[in-house]
Amino acid sequence: MARLGRRVIAIAIDWGIAYGIGAAFFDSDNLPIIVAFAILQVLSMIVFSGSIGHLILGLRVVPLQPRWIGLWRPVVRTLLLCLVIPAFIWDKEQRGLHDVLAGTILVRR
């Protein structure tokens, strides 16, 4: 299971990429940055089982039941991440609320 330090660095990388896209194309407005973050999260999770930050740090998102992650899990997980607060609420296994509600877990490869 991925530890807190790697998770924080991974999400910082992802937000940094989204901010770079927002600054380059949308004059750093907040909404385009959040939309860029969400699109990057959902697409990379469906295709690569993790965000760019996850992949750089050797992490991946997997469903609790061994199967394809599908479309709804990345969407739910990403929408909750965009709200920020669920990422700071953990269960006893150190899974964020966004992972609990999406039925996923962030693991080291």
Domain ranges of the chain: 4-108
The angle subtended at Cα 59 by Cα 87 and Cα 68, nearest 5°, is 90
pLDDT at 67: 84
Identify whether the C-beta of residue 49 lies closer than 8 Å to the C-beta of residue 70: no
- Flag whether pLDDT at 94 surpasses 90: no
* Closest to 61 (Cα-Cα) out of 100, 15, 20: 100
Give this prediction's pTM: 0.89
Q: What is the mean pLDDT of the chain?
A: 91
Q: Rounded distance, CA 102 to CA 42, Å?
A: 12
24-72 per-position pLDDT tens digit? 998 877 899 999 999 999 999 999 999 999 999 999 999 998 888 899 9
